[in-house]
Structure 1
Amino acid sequence: MAALAPPVAAIRVAVRRALTGLPSPGPVLVACSGGADSLALAAATVFVAPRLGRDTVLVSVDHGLQGGSAERAEAVAGWAREAGFTAASVARVEVAGRPGGPEAAAREARYEALVEAARQHGAVAVLTGHTRDDQAETVLLALARGAGPRGLAGMPARRELGGVPLLRPLLEIGRDETRAACAVLGLSPWQDPHNTDPSYARSRVRADLLPALVRALGPGVVDNLARTARLVAADNAALDELAGTALAAARHPDGGLSAPALLALTPAVRGRVLHAWARELGAQPGALSHRHVGALDALVTAWHGQGPADLPGGVRILRRADRLQPVAVG
């Protein structure tokens, strides 16, 4: 028997590790665009999952942003049926009219479609093909945008997406390995022109910035950026736990927070407490920024009788005596 090619073996091991951590039985859903990363992930999942007693579902999302996108999505679904997936389908989404830039709008529409498909099929997890290179690009973009620790933590290997676990098994796998795996398996990935379109920030990072860093600092820079994300994510988890305890201790029966209790916290923990509280009160997560949390922090640390802090989503916070309290708007 011929030895299994290392890239194929590495991707299968990564998928097995991710699926082994799922507690409940049921099918898993793979999001596949037909690119090398998601195609290698799909091929590994349809091999591994049945051996773990799980059915497999594939969904190819058609964003309708390019000519021929519908035909490509159908071709991916057709390949999946031949490859042994239990079910395969195309989800067509509408991107136009959504808030944010085109990348953010497409991502939001895609995730909504994947969650809906997971619910329809009773899938216990959604798998995406984000790689170590994607993680490195995410860290660089976060640095450029002045993001805090949450941004520098990059993409988590697992998070909840509309109540469905979203898994990224390939965050320790390089993009070169997914391409090599496709070549070994005789798969022909689709080359998304958006990946080389300089009008997208991530495309510029991929085509220009990251290669320049590799030339200047050596090939280990991609691994090091991904490692940075893992280390920061671990610190985030510890700080979030501290913040959860601190938020509970600072609560007042009237629904506000004790300003003296908040003042006693370190700035890193206090910021997380205020961020979590703002979200709890209904502030829109995507629009809640460092500026908003800073305004709340000023009510604690630089209180001189100033007016309320207004948060996205129609949330208003006022300081009264020694407490921060939400107040009605309008």
Structure 2
Amino acid sequence: MSSRDAASPSRRRLNPAVGRARNAVKDALEEAGWPSRVLVGCSGGADSLALAAAVAHFARRGEVGGHPLEAGAVVVDHGLQEATAEVARTTAGLLLELGLSPVRVVAVEVRRSGEGPEAEARTARLAALEAEANAWGAQRVLLGHTLDDQAEQVLLGLARGSGTRSLGGMRRVRELYVRPFLGLRRADTVEVCAAEGLEPWFDPTNSDPRYMRSRVRTGIMPFLESELGPGVTEGLARTAAILGRDADYLDSEAGRVYGSLAERAEPGTVFLPGREVRALPAAIRSRVLALAVVELGGQPTFERLAAVERLLDRRGSAGPIEVPGHVSVRRQPRRKDAAPGTEYGKLVFVSHPRR
């Protein structure tokens, strides 16, 4: 057992923030089905470093909740600042001292796609984490997002006019990723690092006004707290939890309906019956249309889906409507022998090969 866990009469009481962090990790791993091998994505910041310390507590013991546990870590160097390579090496050393193994430093190239530097860095980071998880056989990747991050996500979604799924924020367990700290404040992670004797790196981009999330974090959220009173952050995170449950149900119902309606007569083409789709509740209808687009590799947007829905009105153009991702949608004409008002033309979704 590590000296960090060694019991002694003079051992100081467990810091409450450390206890909350460890309990959060245990609860999240239980929800994730007790994975036996996990990776921690760590930037060296307070949030991910505190997460690494909490996970390492269980990894040193080799178990959590009576279930075996191995834990490694990945430090992604985006190469966007001169100091990041040294920060990555220092962070890797701290993670090894904590007892995580293996610890990998992965340098990535952030490709410009026009989505903005934050989204582009995120894409590169997640690709690296998934590759490392596959290489080591990790069942889950743990990330250090906090309740503050969740609140910022909801506020950004509101500003962008996003739908229920986006406003539902991040889920504690979703596919490969586990976010144990969504119920903890950022101040908790700073306290954990102090209690564990860890010195986190404070990324200067987190306070850089050029980035929208930084402006929300350093300007808008403090303003809302001062003008509306304390509890705004918790309220936004609570909104995410409520809308997330709603989105889960609507997505599940839409998936069931889509499975019963979609026809695939040929590769790269999906047919949906216009009459049945038109009769669906709006919240389900838009999701069913989006599922057809996604199945063919497209990216449904609010504006393009609205244009596709207008095809169901049988007024104006029958398409095609072009959707990002090289997908087009058109409405078939009604059969000539169909009785008036008894049949709507099918919607035809087609994937076009990229040239």
Q: TM-score, normalised by structure 1?
A: 0.94
The residue number in structure 2 matching 1:224 is 235
Show the 5 A alignment for 1:107-256: 107-160=122-175, 165-252=176-263, 254=265, 255-256=270-271
Check whether the contact 2:32–2:178 (CA below 8 A) recurs between aligned residues.
Answer: no
- Quote the offset at 1:89 in angstroms: 1.5
The residue number in structure 1 matching 2:349 is 326
Q: Secondary structure at the match of 2:180?
A: coil
- Higher Cα radius of gyration: 2
- Quote the offset at 1:25 in angstroms: 4.9
Q: Please provide the CA RMSD for this pair.
A: 1.6
Show the 5 A alignment for 1:287-326: 288-301=300-313, 303-320=315-332, 321=334, 322-326=345-349
- Paired amino acid for 2:161: G
Q: Deviations over 1:237-284 (max 9, x none)?
A: 11112211221232346441111101111111100100111101221x
Check whether the contact 1:15–1:48 (CA below 8 A) recurs between aligned residues.
Answer: no
Q: Deviations over 1:179-208 (max 9, x none)?
A: 111111111111100000000000000000
- Paired amino acid for 2:330: L
Q: Is 1:275 aligned with 2:290? A: yes
- Quote the offset at 1:22 in angstroms: 3.7
The residue number in structure 1 matching 2:108 is 93
Q: Deviations over 1:76-121 (max 9, x none)?
A: 1111111111211101000143441110110000000001111111
The residue number in structure 1 matching 2:281 is 266
- Paired amino acid for 1:291: E
Question: In 2, Cα distance between the equivalents of 1:226 and 1:271?
Answer: 25
Q: TM-score, normalised by structure 2?
A: 0.87
Check whether the contact 2:35–2:140 (CA below 8 A) recurs between aligned residues.
Answer: no
Question: In 2, Cα distance between the equivalents of 1:329 and 1:234?
Answer: 35
> How many pairs does the alignment contain?
323
- Paired amino acid for 2:183: E
Q: Which runs of 4+ in 1 moved over 6 A?
A: none
- Which of the numbers 4, 14, 19 marks the counterpart of 1:4? 14
Closer, same or farther in 2 for the Cα pair 1:212/1:25, shift >3 Å?
closer
Question: In 1, Cα distance between the equivalents of 2:348 and 2:147?
Answer: 43
Q: Deviations over 1:282-324 (max 9, x none)?
A: 21x3xx3101111111111353343211111221111112201
- Quote the offset at 1:24 in angstroms: 6.4
Q: Secondary structure at the match of 1:43?
A: helix
Question: In 1, Cα distance between the equivalents of 2:35 and 2:51?
Answer: 20
Check whether the contact 1:30–1:58 (CA below 8 A) recurs between aligned residues.
Answer: yes
- Quote the offset at 1:3 in angstroms: 2.4
- Quote the offset at 1:329 in angstroms: 5.0
Structure 1 residue ranges without an equivalent (≥5): none
Question: In 1, Cα distance between the equivalents of 2:141 and 2:121?
Answer: 17
Q: Percent identity?
A: 44
Q: Deviations over 1:4-33 (max 9, x none)?
A: 111000000000111223446532100111
- Greater mean deviation of Cα atoms: 195-204 or 298-307: 298-307
Question: In 2, Cα distance between the equivalents of 1:206 and 1:171?
Answer: 16
Q: Deviations over 1:31-85 (max 9, x none)?
A: 1111110010000000024232211111111000111211110111111111111
Structure 2 residue ranges without an equivalent (≥5): 1-10, 335-344
Closer, same or farther in 2 for the Cα pair 1:329/1:190, shift >3 Å?
closer
- Greater mean deviation of Cα atoms: 146-155 or 33-42: 146-155
Q: Secondary structure at the match of 1:256?
A: strand
